[in-house]
Structure 1
Amino acid sequence: MKKVASLLCALLILAGCSSVPLTGRKQVLLVSDQEVLSSSLTQYNDYIKTAKKSANKSQNDMVTRVGKKIAAATETYLKANGMENEIKNFKWEFNLVKDPQVNAFCMPGGKIVVYEGLLPLVSSDDELAVVLGHEVAHAVAKHSNERMSQQLMTQYGAAILGAAVSNKSTAVQQMANTVYGVGSQYGVMLPFSRKHESEADYMGLVFMTMAGYNPDVAVNFWQKMSAGKGGATPEFMSTHPSDSHRIADIQKELPGIKAKYGKK
């Protein structure tokens, strides 16, 4: 068993250990950026062909306006912190879809979709920035890649992980639907772990603050999301940390984020 464990550790190191921007958390990425972007683009294109675009011009303009500012702030951060080469992985696109679900998502590569059902809970550009900052953070932190890598390790196990690492394309395609969840009957929110969700909350607050939005509105926004429609938990929050935990974490992080990343 010790030999197997040693082999697994060596393979993980060779395959690609990385650090998440802003948080510095170590992560193992066994799937190349090219494979992730290729598979996610296929899923996104299939979805967007059948999605019904919103006809609400003012809301479309709002999504585009806020999205572009968040994207610009994200790229500014990457450039300023020696990660300019990561920018090539993002081809930003913003769409508002006619769907009553309280939902939004950002695919790897920067493909952002907001559902009309979310907009009644969004009373300002600042509150929409909370959502879009969170979704962009998932893409920047490469959470999809990390989930794929976790599934590869689970699926193949330590004994044959080498084969999975050396020839991953088929496995990546097979698990893409599960990881991305695009077009499923449960909506298209990426089902990340609570750890990823908390990380995206923090990073999203930083990106929205850098973009000039007020991060203080995040507390009220998540309180509204917590209440949901008729007191039920919205689909948007189904895989997220508990409401009280999320809001408490945001309140704890806000002073430091505003002091470090707010407009001087």
Structure 2
Amino acid sequence: MKKVLVLLFLLFFTNLNAYAGSDYLFLDKETKYQKKIMEMGFRILNANRIDKRMTFSYDTNKDVNAYTYGGAKNIVICKGLLPYFDDDNELAAILSHEIAHGMDYHDGFFKSVAMGFAPKKYEEKADKQAVDYMVTAGYNPVALIIVLNKISGEKKGISSWFSTHPAGSRRLVLIYEYIYKKYPGYLVDNDYRRNLYYQNFLLISKDDREKIRERELKKIEKNRKKNEKKEAV
């Protein structure tokens, strides 16, 4: 019996030592979330050569929210937001958006004041910057459309004047247009084409996407004629 106990004891500690190097062994769920958020956040910072100090935190608050503490340059992901992430690209989308806000806060007090007076303008700016950050860090920027389609409100009329964020539909279309112009390859070879939430976006944005396509075709035609005139001179 003693030999059996000794053998079990040795096996336990042998396995313990074998897995001791694993970052996630024996960590509780909340700690794992914190580590993942930090690792992905710093990956985005490093890939984009961002030389401004920022930190990343996980908050057990159940609000569906993410935010940036201006003074501390601390980016916070709330627990209530986690069920909306289906893959790392979607978490990277929100982190990238908040990093863009963090960069604005690094520009000083007066930029923070400007952000307070024109929040929608800076939200749209942060969305575009987030797309750039994601692409550089190796994430799919279409995920920003997908995750915001899940969580963005649709405020219109008088209530929209008091909202700090653009109406959801407009916001998604602006992101799509930015990707369409700057990173069209992600739309042509789209990993999310069968995604439930992306398909919903395609349904609700059909007219807007057609207008974007028509504008770009007109621009191409205008440039073509302009180049022909130059060549004729």
Is the pair's TM-score, using the shorter chain for normalization, greater than 0.5? yes
Name the SS for the 1:56 alignment partner. helix
Q: What is the TM-score of this pair, normalised by structure 2? A: 0.56
* Maintained 8 Å contact 2:66/2:78: yes
Confirm or deny that 1:133 pairs with 2:96: yes
Residue 222 of structure 1 and its aligned partner are, at CA, apart by 1.0
Partner of 1:92: 54
Pairwise CA distance, 1:220:
1.3
Alpha carbons 1:206, 1:257 under 8 Å: kept: no
In the alignment, which residue of structure 2 is the partner of 1:65?
39
Larger radius of gyration: 2
1:104 corresponds to: 66
For structure 2, the residue ranges without an aligned partner over 5 or more in a row are: 1-27, 155-162, 187-233
Shift of 1:203: 0.4
Q: Which residue is equivalent to 1:258? A: 183
Q: Following the alignment from structure 1 to structure 2, what is the Cα–Cα distance between the partners of residues 260 and 92?
A: 31
Shift of 1:148: 4.5
Amino acid at match of 2:91: L
Distance (whole Å) between structure 1 residues aligned to residue 40 and residue 125 of structure 2: 21
Distance in 1 of aligned mates of 2:181 and 2:135: 11
Q: Does the CA-based 8 Å contact 2:104-2:111 persist in structure 1? A: no
Amino acid at match of 1:256: K
Q: 1:116 aligns with which of 79, 101, 113?
A: 79
Query: Which of 112, 128, 141 is the aligned partner of 1:202?
Result: 128
1:41-56 maps to which residues of 2 (within 5 A)?
56=30
**In structure 1, the residue corresponding to 2:140 is in which secondary structure?**
coil
AA of the residue aligned to 1:247: L
Cα distance change of structure 1 residues 192 and 134 upon mapping to structure 2, 3 Å threshold = farther
Asked whether the equivalents of residues 219 and 251 of structure 1 are also in contact (C-alpha less than 8 Å), the reply is yes
Q: How much is the aligned-residue C-alpha RMSD, in angstroms?
A: 3.0
Amino acid at match of 1:136: I
Measure the CA separation in 1 of the matches of 2:127 and 2:104: 11
Report how far residue 94 of structure 1 moved. 1.4
SS in 2 for 1:70: helix
Q: How far apart are the structure 1 equivalents of 2:144 and 2:114?
A: 30
Query: Which whole-Å CA distance do the structure 2 matches of 1:116 and 1:126 have between them?
Result: 17
Cα distance in 2 for partners of 1:61, 1:150 equals 33
Q: Aligned equivalents of 1:62 and 1:131: distance in 2?
A: 13
Please report how far the alpha carbon of residue 60 of structure 1 lies from its aligned counterpart in structure 2 after TM superposition.
1.8
Q: Distance in 2 between matches of 1:65 and 1:150?
A: 31
Out of 141-150 and 91-100, give the one that drifted further.
Answer: 141-150
3-state SS, counterpart of residue 64 of structure 2: coil
- Aligned partner of 2:109 in structure 1 is 145
Sequence identity of aligned pairs in percent?
Answer: 28
Q: Whole-Å Cα distance in 1 between the matches of residues 108 and 90 of structure 2?
A: 25
Larger RCO of the pair (alpha carbons < 8 Å, separation 6+): 1
Q: Does the aligned pair in 2 maintain the 1:62–1:125 contact within 8 Å?
A: no
Structure 2 Cα separation of the partners of residues 192 and 149 of structure 1: 9
